[in-house]
Structure 1
Amino acid sequence: MTGLLGAATSAADKRTRFRDALNSGRLQRFPGAFSPLVAKLVADIGFDGVYVSGAVLSADLGLPDIGLTTLTEVTGRGAQIASATDLPTLVDADTGFGEPMNVARTVTLVEEAGLAGLHLEDQVNPKRCGHLDGKAVVDIATMVKRLRAAVAARRDPHFVICARTDAAGIEGIPAAIERAKAYADAGADLIFTEALHTPADFEQFRAAVATPLLANMTEFGKSPLLTASQLAEIGYNAVLYPVTTLRLAMHAVEAGLREIESTGTQSGLVDHMQHRSRLYELLRYAEYNQFDSDIFNFSLQGAQR
């Protein structure tokens, strides 16, 4: 039964694995998962971790990514996704859902939910999508307070606290580097460099900052889509593909719905669908059936309803 109804690996072990991996010298690849089922596929294919994007969670709720989601929604969905695999899961905690005391509570609840880490950003509250124009960032001192509150609230020393800076497109790369160093000094274990424009920007960050770095390879954004090999060569420690699975799914769903609407049948779409057998494989139907048969292997005779 181990790992059948939930992850076989404890949350503490996942956190240790994540922290060790960041210092392994090997790029950690974290695709975004918009559901526990997608997380299972991420693990099955062989990625290093799972990411829960705030933009994806908002979109899944039919909302724009402008700080409308709540701490309860994020921790609830994060817990479901984190429990689906043995991989470490990193969650987007936006600006921490309030002032430093709120940030501390955010860390407490996210840790309790079984996540391996979270990232906090230096945007003003409410935030907006990192690849939109018109963003504003708080001053360094304010973000340092957020991070210190997060570090103080952490009970598992292996829980990863990542600091995201959106300052590069507002104040420039040198200012963003200054912020990254201050955030590391405040206790951040990982620095998320958002919306960099060129490979040279990534290289400049790596050369200046000693802390592990995370890259965001989101489509249709401001950053070029660097390959895993390129990022590893530059020296980045982790990469996110935050919205990729949602975009792939929604494109397929829209195309399929339009064909059904126009033709009156889904028969022409069957070859583009995940087969039932593959779904059952991911969900481990055979193992559930074996587990059930081993226990409920009797029959009732003369039972009355």
Structure 2
Amino acid sequence: MAVSRGAAKLREYLADPEKVVVCPGVLDGLTARVALSVGFDALYMTGAGTAISRLGQPDLGLTTVDDMATNAGMIAGLDRSVPVIADADTGFGSPLMVARTVEKYMLQGVAAFHIEDQVTTKRCGHLLGKELVDTSVYVARIRAAAAARAAMPGSDIVIIARTDSLQSLGYDAAVERLKAAVAAGADVAFLEGMTTKEQMAQVVKDMAPTPCFLNMVSGGVTPLVDAAEAKALGYKIVIWPMACMTSVYLGMRDICRELKGTGRIEEKYEDGKLVGGVREVFECAGLSKCSAFDAEMGGTSFKNGA
């Protein structure tokens, strides 16, 4: 089993009354490496980003459990001391399949995951027309996740219960779903698609003492707040899932336009130094660390440099 030191650390963060965990949404190895280099306490593997980066498709329930678990495991493996919170969509099926999903995530060393109450052919929580399963089906998913965790020796993975029911069922019904999920074994509550700061503040009060999770989506339906305001509202985990998708999309779009229009890409400089060159990118991915490890172990692959 890939032991998740990240799960223990995430639980420490959740228990710290002064701590709010802010996570950038990462979608692949490069974006995860960049986020790690900046020094974030935790990372969030976005399901939408996984669909886009691995399949080139929108977040419409097209990814499989293997797509998601493999990507999450790769990201978690870059630095085992940094918790990775991963989207697990609906758990990908019946309680039996949910348990299998959770087992895969635990084996990959993921620190936490969230499971939602949409139908299996789900969609991004900030799109319209979401369809829900009955509360009993949703609770069965959470119960299966908790049972899978209990069956895995040494696992302390954090279960985050997400509900997308606010849009169609209203606030009170959504909170009741979250409370039922917590009773079934969830550790953290995640109300998706809130539209006012009043709702954002109220759900924290109504779910206390269960920690709450906040999703900040650029262009979505929830008002955007910074880390200080999220902490003041009482949130323990805040994710920005579009962080890397937005930057990769805009950066790649602009540089492709430059290459298409001029036939070349100009080098970029900051304070007179080249930025974004090949060595800088490779160093972000661990070039020096890899060559140093090889030499320490008695290897000679990089004796003439790298």
TM-score by length of 1: 0.90
Aligned mate of 2:6, from 11, 14, 29: 14
Match of 2:70 in 1: 76
Map 1:280-291 to 2 at 5 A.
280-291=282-293
Report deviation, 1:44.
2.1
1:290 to partner: Cα distance: 2.9
* Residue 296 (1) aligns with residue 299 (2): yes
SS in structure 1 at match of 2:176: helix
Aligned AA (1:67): G
SS of 1:133's equivalent? coil
Matched, 1:223 2:226: no
> Paired residue for 2:135, among 135, 140, 144?
140
Tell me, in whole angstroms, the C-alpha distance in 2 between the residues paired with 1:297 and 1:92.
41
Tell me by how many angstroms 1:221 deviates: 0.3
- How far residue 297 of structure 1 moved from its aligned partner, in angstroms, is 5.4
TM-fit CA distance, 1:176: 1.1
Q: State the 1:271 CA deviation.
A: 4.0
Structure 2 partner of 1:274: 276
Distance 1:12 1:128 in 2: 29
Code of the residue aligned with 1:49 in structure 2: it is A
Cα distance in 2 between the residues matched to 1:17 and 1:194:
25
**How far 1:270 sits from its partner (Å)?**
3.1
| Aligned partner letter, 1:41 | V
Select the structure of larger CA radius of gyration: 1
8 A Cα contact 1:23 1:237, kept in partner? no
In 1, distance between residues paired with 2:173 and 2:269?
Answer: 51
Whether the 8 Å contact between 1:101 and 1:149 is mirrored in structure 2 is yes
Q: Which amino acid aligns with 1:159?
A: I
Determine helix, strand or coil for the equivalent of 1:30: strand
Residue pairs, 1:9-158, within 5 angstroms: 11-25=3-17, 26-60=19-53, 61-85=55-79, 86-154=81-149, 155=152, 156-158=154-156
1:169 match:
167
Q: Which residue of 2 aligns with 1:188?
A: 186
Q: How far is the alpha carbon of 1:32 from its aligned partner?
A: 1.1
Preserved contact between residue 48 and residue 87 of structure 1 (Cα < 8 Å) = yes
Cα deviation digits, residues 56-79 of structure 1 (max 9, x gap): 111111112111110111111111
Deviation at 1:53, TM superposition (A): 1.0
Cα deviation code 1:218-272 (max 9, x no counterpart): 11100111111111001001011112111111111011111111111112x5349
TM-score (norm 2): 0.89
**Do 2:28 and 2:50's aligned partners in 1 also have CA atoms closer than 8 Å?**
no
For 1:302, the equivalent position in structure 2 comes to: none
3-state SS in 2 of match to 1:195: coil
Structure 1 runs not aligned, ≥5 long = 1-9, 299-305
Q: Assess if the C-alpha contact under 8 Å between 1:89 and 1:115 holds in 2.
A: yes
Q: Is the 8 A contact 1:11 1:116 kept in 2?
A: no
1:303 is matched with none
Two-structure CA RMSD over aligned residues (Å): 1.7
Say whether the 8 Å CA contact 1:140–1:179 is kept in structure 2. yes
The Cα of 1:157 is off from its aligned counterpart by: 4.6
Question: Which blocks of at least 5 consecutive residues in structure 2 are unaligned?
Answer: 302-306
Matched-pair identity in %: 35
Over 4 Å off, 4+ runs: none
Decide whether the 8 Å contact of 1:36 with 1:82 is kept in 2.
no
Aligned length: 288
Q: What secondary structure sits across from 2:114 in the alignment? A: strand
Is the contact made by 2:61 and 2:121 (CA closer than 8 Å) also made in structure 1? yes
Classify the secondary structure of the residue corresponding to 2:213: strand
Q: Is the 8 A contact 2:98 2:144 kept in 1?
A: yes
Q: Tell me if structure 1 keeps the 8 A contact 2:3–2:107.
A: no
